[in-house]
Amino acid sequence: MTNLFRKYKLHYLIVLAVVMVYFIPLLFAEFTSDAKFSSQVFTMDKGYGYEIMVNGKVFIHQEYIPGIKGYNLFESKDKAQIVADMVVNKLLHDESPTVSGEELIKAGVIQHETVN
């Protein structure tokens, strides 16, 4: 099987590229100039998470603090809301909704990147 993959590696990569070029615009097709972004914090057993909605539909369901190693829940509603607001702001400015550990530190959400 490995030899088969090696033999057709270029073909797989071309197919993957074509699929990505086709599907990524479909994923963001709903982000028109009149798209309405909103966020909602939700409670979990031992912490909080958030959802980002686009035109009332869930676009991101985030149970753990993004941008750091491990599966750490937000310790407060306020911290989950801070990150949700960061993500919405990025989407409003046509930026990637990713959040880095450095951004979390600057926002006071975490103290350092290795929270575990």
- Tell me if 101 sits within 8 A of 115, measured CB to CB: no
Beta-ladder partners of 47: 44
**Residue 34: pLDDT band with limits 50, 70, 90:** confident
| Secondary structure element (H or E) that encloses residue 85, with its range | helix 77-92
Mean pLDDT of 63-92: 95
Number of other residues whose CB lies within 10 A of the CB of residue 73:
15
Domain-wise residue ranges, the chain: 1-30, 37-106
| Percentage, residues of the chain above pLDDT 90 | 62
For residues 4 and 17, give the distance between their C-alpha atoms in angstroms, rounded to a whole number.
19
pLDDT tops 50 at residue 26: no
* DSSP one-letter string for 13-68: HHHHHHHHHHHHHHHTTT--TT--EEEEEEEETTEEEEEEEETTEEEEEE-S-TTS
Q: Tell me what pLDDT residue 7 has.
A: 63
**Residue range 81-109: mean pLDDT, rounded:** 94
pLDDT tens digit string along 51-65? 999 999 999 999 999
